[in-house]
Amino acid sequence: MSHIDELRNKVDEVTLEMIKLLKTRTDIAKEIGNIKKNLGLGITDQAREEQLRAKIISLCHDIGLDESIGTKFLNFLLTESVKIQSETKQTHLSVFLKAKALEEEGKKIIHMEVGEPDFSPPKIVKNALEEVYDKGFVKYGQAKGMPVFRTALAESVTKLYGTNTKPENIIVCPGARFAVYLAITTLLNAGDEIIVIEPAWPAYRECAQNSGIKVRSIKTTLESKWEPSVQQIADAINSNTKMIVLNYPNNPTGKILPPKLQDKIIEVVIKNDLYILSDEIYSQYTYNKEWKSILSYNYKKSIVTQSFSKSHSMTGFRIGFAITDSQIIDKMAKLQALCLTNVSEPMQYVALQALKADTSNNSINMKTRLNTVTQKAKAMKLDFVEPDGAMYLFVKLGNESFDATKFTNEALNFGLALAPGEAFGDYKNFIRISTGIEEKNLMEGMSLLKTVLDKK
Amino acid sequence: MSHIDELRNKVDEVTLEMIKLLKTRTDIAKEIGNIKKNLGLGITDQAREEQLRAKIISLCHDIGLDESIGTKFLNFLLTESVKIQSETKQTHLSVFLKAKALEEEGKKIIHMEVGEPDFSPPKIVKNALEEVYDKGFVKYGQAKGMPVFRTALAESVTKLYGTNTKPENIIVCPGARFAVYLAITTLLNAGDEIIVIEPAWPAYRECAQNSGIKVRSIKTTLESKWEPSVQQIADAINSNTKMIVLNYPNNPTGKILPPKLQDKIIEVVIKNDLYILSDEIYSQYTYNKEWKSILSYNYKKSIVTQSFSKSHSMTGFRIGFAITDSQIIDKMAKLQALCLTNVSEPMQYVALQALKADTSNNSINMKTRLNTVTQKAKAMKLDFVEPDGAMYLFVKLGNESFDATKFTNEALNFGLALAPGEAFGDYKNFIRISTGIEEKNLMEGMSLLKTVLDKK
């Protein structure tokens, strides 16, 4: 028998030995599951997992196995024994769908649940739609986006942020959401970890979980003005941590980080060689505080997402983009080509034209709306941190036992749609109020909110 | 110590034991890798893998472990030890990009590599683009597609195939490609297996590999008229097999299966409870033989993909759809919502209008083009099976040692772009000729092909 055959036999033996242990492990896990079920306990136990993880890391050091291989293996075993639970959380989307159903029954609903400005898309969009057929933007195109559009976006970014952004640093996507999906899915592997600062837009967590990536949540509080501490972030980083998600101005809190805090966070992140996924789609809606794009740090492993949805009020068109290093663009483009071939060419042409529009009125109007709602909320003595930007108020309605999800269902019966806090993390006593609609309706909505609150 | 704590300690012990074996396994795998490298051997060895898989299945039966858990575990170990190689294959896309670069240098290129009809989209599309802004289809919509569009598609499918298709059986996607991605990604898990009959459009394999799903290829041959045997399919099915992909009329061969053979294949597939992913985007281009949609079998686990790209020549718009059971639609919609929120609303409105257009001229013209090229290819004594549909000829240029990829590079220098066979599977001595362009250009392309062949 040749040496290679001997080695192969050994591999087989070892593998079969592992399978036997897998059987033992599965049997014990089942037994534990049954006991937990009888005791009415949940399936996962974070503290237990961490203990086992620590033991494995220690063993890896002792026997000279790459720690990240060991912990990935653990993550595989954990996913196999604890199948991902089906999502039962209520989100702004489920409220929206309920609201739509009530509307179909003839009920009037004030929509303060959805993150969608009600402004019309710029008028130039109408002209662009009228000419795109004759201009011939109707065929297959490049996965990264139309060259002329990527060039225009690079110029626009350079002008806005004083960067040196080139077309090869841009990928056009069908919405910033898809850019987030691409970045998380292509840059991280199953078993890797991602840090999400909560409250947060649910898509970050969902994209990670969808790829078997472990989410480490950093919980911020209203009391600490939604600011994470540098220590919290440092403590959350381990050898499997590959990415942190930032989103300022924040959805749902409207928070903008103080520049010095942001600098310190970025310092820790860079020291640990993490990717930064910075979702900056609310950058046009910044008001009370100085906001600094993550692009300004000129960090190679940062991916900034942008969109025409909020700034140009073009939600339905599905055009967003990411700005990052060209090698990261290449990785993202590979999955985009696999999924989509290319982004709709007519929509890209239309967005290219929309770039020429002056959308500063949208910013001014949104600021007025947000101010109006903020003043009203203050008068109602609601508990919240005044937003620095974006288009939301994140309001605490009661102590930890207050069920805001139930509350949003009650509000719906009064004709008011609100987003429950649990969609954004462990914030079951919060609601998110969106200021996407006209002031008159916003004021009516706030009055309804008062009515429902007074009933409690 | 409580019973549950005892059990937990056992889990820890077993897990650490597995990690030690993982270390042993990794070390041996490295040693084998080094020996192989020195001998100039490839990294994977399919026959070896299958032996180990058989041993594991046998062990699973002996010890009472679910066989699919054991083989999934093996797939995890194999993926970890043999990282997926970067794609080095040449595809029609890489040829297309090279051709574009040559065109920019001023060279004239005849494009017979891309699967894109050069017809204009229906005129009604222009009108629809002009009115979509004022009609207000510019905001967020539902993940599954606009209700009015899904209703129209369901009616159209029912009319075409005599089915009883309802709106809840339809999901609108940004291209049939995304529908394929959704179906494979959401219905299968890492470690599952999928059967692909080759030659095949590369996206099926790529989508599967992207999710850690194992692809079992069934190789069909020109000699057997591109027909798989029922036995081949039965032999490829094991306990991990979850789906088979069908694509008739076929890209790249133009094949339509004889109805009786198709019936028998479906019988085996249904008996084994597999999903059928049937990509029917060339259904409007069927000529020589009776074609039967997989919808006609009324099988709950079939997913049929369709698109406006080929039938309506609307490639750049990115509108396709899938027709399947409503519970499967729900699963696909969950990932689509995560990735995209919704498909571009203006594009959905435009496609809804395009449904009203009579596109029979496209079918007639494509048939003429395909006939012309077929006759010319016969006159040139090329080795191929006359296509029953679609818009391609799949031509054998020489024996197994013939390098068709090199040949397509040579042809490019003569101004002719062709797709190399290796993109579609193990067909290195084949090329795919696309008939998407006008007859005059097709004839010129075929003359160029003759010129390059005569040089050999």
- Any B CB within 8 A of A150 CB: no
CB count in 10 Å sphere of residue A455: 8
What is the value of pTM for the model shown?
Answer: 0.87
- Rounded Cα–Cα distance for residues B283 and A33 (Å): 50
- Any B CB within 8 A of A64 CB: yes
Q: What is the C-alpha end-to-end distance of chain A, expressed in Å?
A: 81
Residue A176 Cα, gap to closest chain B Cα (Å):
9
- Partner residue facing A7 (CB), from B10, B32, B116: B32
Structure-block tokens of residue B53: 């898989």
Residue closest to B252 by CA, chosen among B435, B1, B416, B413: B435
**What pLDDT does residue B42 have?**
64
A30-55 burial: b if 16+ Cβ within 10 Å, else e: eebeeeeeeeeeeeeeeeeeeebbeb
Contact B342 A116 (CB under 8 A): no
| The dihedral sign for the CA sequence B326, B328, B331, B333 | negative
Residue closest to B323 by CA, chosen among B155, B186, B79, B98: B155
- Rounded Cα–Cα distance for residues B33 and A406 (Å): 59
Give the strand pairing for A193-198 and A241-246. Answer: parallel
DSSP secondary structure, A365-417, as one string: HHHHHHHHHHHHHHHTT-EEPPPSBTTEEEEE-SSTT--HHHHHHHHHHTTEE
- Any A CB within 8 A of B28 CB: yes
- Any A CB within 8 A of B394 CB: no
Closest chain B CA to residue A336: B178
Residue B98 CB partners (closer than 8 Å, separation 6+)? B409, B412, B417
**What pLDDT does residue B66 have?**
83
> Cα angle vertex A116, ends B326, A310, to 5°?
120
Complete domains list, chain B, with CATH: 3-81 (1.20.59.10), 92-115+359-455 (3.90.1150.10), 123-354 (3.40.640.10)
A419: helix, coil or strand?
Answer: strand
At B417, phi and psi to the nearest 5?
-100, 125
**What pLDDT does residue B79 have?**
65
Comparison of pLDDT for A154 and A99, the residue scoring more: A154
- Rounded Cα–Cα distance for residues A446 and A376 (Å): 7
**What pLDDT does residue A83 have?**
38
Helix (H) or strand (E) holding A322: strand A320-323
**What pLDDT does residue B32 have?**
85
Residue at A289: amino acid letter = K
- Partner residue facing A338 (CB), from B19, B140, B203: B203
State percent of chain A over pLDDT 70: 96
Closest chain B CA to residue A23: B65
pLDDT band at A85 (very low <50, low <70, confident <90, very high): very low
- Rounded Cα–Cα distance for residues B218 and B227 (Å): 10
Residues in chain B within 8 Å Cβ distance of A210: 335, 338
**What pLDDT does residue B76 have?**
74
- DSSP letter, residue B310: T
- Partner residue facing A4 (CB), from B32, B70, B125: B32
Each residue of A330-340: pLDDT tens digit?
Answer: 999 999 999 99
Residue B330 CB partners (closer than 8 Å, separation 6+)? none
Identify the residue whose tokens are 């008001």. A287
Q: In what order do the strands lie in the sheet with A275-279?
A: A170-173, A320-323, A302-307, A275-279, A241-246, A193-198, A214-219
Give the strand pairing for A392-396 and A430-434. Answer: antiparallel
Each residue of B53-105: pLDDT tens digit?
Answer: 888 889 988 998 888 778 778 877 776 554 333 344 667 778 888 888 888 88
**What pLDDT does residue A43 have?**
59
**What pLDDT does residue B84 have?**
31
CA B409 to chain centre: 24
pLDDT band at A82 (very low <50, low <70, confident <90, very high): very low
Closest chain A CA to residue B33: A4
At B420, phi and psi to the nearest 5?
-75, 145
State percent of chain A over pLDDT 90: 74
Structure-block tokens of residue A349: 């042409």
Each residue of A404-414: pLDDT tens digit?
Answer: 999 999 999 99
**What pLDDT does residue A44 have?**
63
Residue A282 CB partners (closer than 8 Å, separation 6+)? A249, A250, A251, A310, A389, A390, A391
Contact B7 A35 (CB under 8 A): yes
Closest chain A CA to residue B30: A7
Residue closest to B244 by CA, chosen among B224, B212, B215, B282: B215
- Rounded Cα–Cα distance for residues A289 and A296 (Å): 16
Rg of chain B, C-alpha, whole Å: 24
Contact A139 B130 (CB under 8 A): no
Structure-block tokens of residue B393: 């000829």
Cβ–Cβ < 8 Å for A323, A298: no
Which residues between 67 and 86 in chain A have a beta carbon less than 8 angstroms from any beta carbon of chain B?
69-70, 72-74, 76-77, 80
Residue at A378: amino acid letter = K
Each residue of A163-210: pLDDT tens digit?
Answer: 999 999 999 999 999 999 999 999 998 778 999 999 999 999 999 988
pLDDT tens for chain B, 456 residues long, are: 688 889 889 988 998 998 899 889 888 888 888 887 777 776 566 677 778 888 888 998 899 888 877 877 887 777 655 433 334 466 777 888 888 888 888 999 999 999 999 999 999 999 999 999 999 999 999 999 999 999 999 999 999 999 999 999 999 999 999 999 999 999 998 778 999 999 999 999 999 988 878 899 999 999 999 999 999 999 999 888 999 999 999 999 999 999 999 999 999 999 999 999 999 999 999 997 789 999 999 999 999 999 999 999 999 999 999 999 999 999 999 999 999 999 999 999 999 999 999 999 999 999 999 999 999 999 999 999 999 999 999 999 999 999 999 999 999 999 999 999 999 999 999 999 999 999 999 999 999 999 999 987
Residue A451 Cα, gap to closest chain B Cα (Å):
29
- Any A CB within 8 A of B89 CB: no
- Any A CB within 8 A of B148 CB: no
**What pLDDT does residue A163 have?**
96
Residue closest to A415 by CA, chosen among A448, A377, A376: A448
